[in-house]
């Protein structure tokens, strides 16, 4: 029971990170029907941006408690802005011209972008692991039984709270604002939306920006949680987040969050109870199984095949 509760906390934390990345996949797939393969690497770039900002602030002002908090906050904000810029540029340069082109072209372009980003970071920042000094290590012990203490760390609380708050804001934007309406209109029928005066190109750009900003939140949280980042960190979390998006039903926002939580929980429980070596195999197997037996996902709409 103690182990279970502890893993539940860890799983939800990890799931929050996956869920944030998954939203980027699901929104882009919903609006232009492509798998933005580079999204995982955008997430990795965001973690690096956060790392650099964090280092800059702590080098200038030291490593005391208040400074660390300020540094993380600043890292989060700067990372969201810069990552959004990356995503905007990627869409503008690599995807926009291919919209409506031959179906494989955007996917290949996205894979190329993913390789480009990964190797750009490797060349620009070096291939070694980048550890930050451990921050927010304190934990709160929830209860203790049989000598096993179930604890939740401040980091985990921060990740959960930030995720919940941002998801709330995001949910409000998509459901209640004119921008969100335009997005949903473009998702249903871009041509009709354009005829009704909705700037489709700009709406799609904003979708990419929003997805990237949430990925940047995930990237900053990832950096804080694990305390280390390396240039190849985009691929596996990217694929897992995509799995989460598919599991929840691609195109559905609550689905992406739900899928992210499920994937996070499955991964942590699998590592705890079965085998830590095969945790990625578990995630990939779920992806395959869901796509084969339940391609519409948990909360998605079934796809109707038209002649």
On the 0-12 / 13-18 / 19+ scale of CB atoms within 10 A, 124 is: exposed
For residue 174, CA distances in Å to 44, 272, 297 come to 25, 37, 21
Q: Is 111 in the site for another protein (CB under 8 A)?
A: yes
Q: Is 263 in the site for another protein (CB under 8 A)?
A: no
CA atoms within 13 A on the CB side of 262: 22
CA atoms within 13 A on the CB side of 252: 20
Closest approach of another protein to the CB of residue 8, in Å: 25
Closest approach of another protein to the CB of residue 173, in Å: 23
Q: Is 78 in the site for another protein (CB under 8 A)?
A: yes
DSSP state of 198: -
Site string for another protein, 21-60 (x = CB under 8 A): -------------xx---------x--xx-xxx-xx--x-
Which of helix, strand or coil describes residue 228? strand
Tokens of 247: 């599991």
Closest approach of another protein to the CB of residue 176, in Å: 30
Which of helix, strand or coil describes residue 148? strand
Of the candidate residues 112, 134, 199, 302, the single one contacting another protein (CB under 8 A): 112
Whether 183 contacts 174, CB under 8 Å: yes
Closest approach of another protein to the CB of residue 155, in Å: 19
Which positions from 132 through 171 interact with another protein, judged by CB under 8 A?
Answer: 132-133
Closest approach of another protein to the CB of residue 84, in Å: 10
Neighbours of 181 (CB within 10 A): 15
Q: Is 107 in the site for another protein (CB under 8 A)?
A: yes
Handedness of CA 210, 77, 79, 84 (dihedral sign): positive
Residues in contact with another protein by CB under 8 A are 34-35, 45, 48-49, 51-53, 55-56, 59, 78, 82, 85-86, 89, 93-94, 97-98, 101-109, 111-126, 128, 130-133, 235, 239, 242-243, 246, 277-278, 280-281, 284-285, 287-288, 291-292, 295, 305, 307
């Amino acid at each position: 029971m103690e182990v279970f509760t502890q893993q539940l906390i860890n799983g939800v934390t990890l799931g929050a990170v996956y869920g944030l990345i998954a939203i980027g996949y699901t929104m882009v797939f919903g609006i232009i029907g492509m798998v933005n393969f580079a999204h995982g690497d955008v997430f990795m770039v965001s973690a690096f941006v956060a790392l650099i900002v964090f280092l800059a602030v702590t080098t200038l002002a030291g490593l005391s408690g208040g400074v660390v908090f300020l540094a993380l906050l600043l890292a989060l904000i700067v990372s969201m802005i810069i990552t959004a810029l990356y995503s905007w540029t990627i869409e503008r340069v690599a995807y926009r011209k291919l919209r409506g082109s031959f179906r494989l072209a955007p996917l290949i372009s996205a894979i190329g972008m993913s390789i480009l980003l990964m190797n750009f970071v490797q060349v620009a920042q070096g291939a070694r692991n980048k550890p930050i000094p451990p921050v927010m290590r304190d934990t709160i012990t929830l209860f203790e039984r049989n000598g096993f203490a179930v604890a939740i760390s401040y980091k985990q609380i921060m990740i959960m709270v930030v995720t919940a708050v941002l998801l709330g804001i995001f949910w409000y934007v998509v459901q209640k604002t004119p921008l969100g309406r335009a997005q949903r209109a473009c998702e249903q029928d871009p041509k009709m939306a354009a005829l009704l005066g909705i700037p489709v190109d700009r709406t799609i750009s904003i979708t990419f920006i929003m997805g990237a900003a949430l990925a940047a939140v995930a990237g900053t949280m990832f950096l804080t949680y694990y305390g280390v980042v390396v240039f190849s960190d985009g691929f596996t979390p990217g694929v897992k987040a995509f799995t989460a998006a598919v599991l929840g039903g691609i195109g559905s926002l609550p689905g992406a969050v739900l899928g992210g939580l499920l994937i996070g929980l499955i991964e942590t429980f699998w590592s705890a109870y079965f085998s830590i070596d095969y945790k990625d195999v578990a995630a990939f197997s779920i992806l395959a199984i869901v796509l084969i037996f339940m391609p519409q996902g948990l909360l998605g709409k079934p796809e109707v095949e038209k002649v």
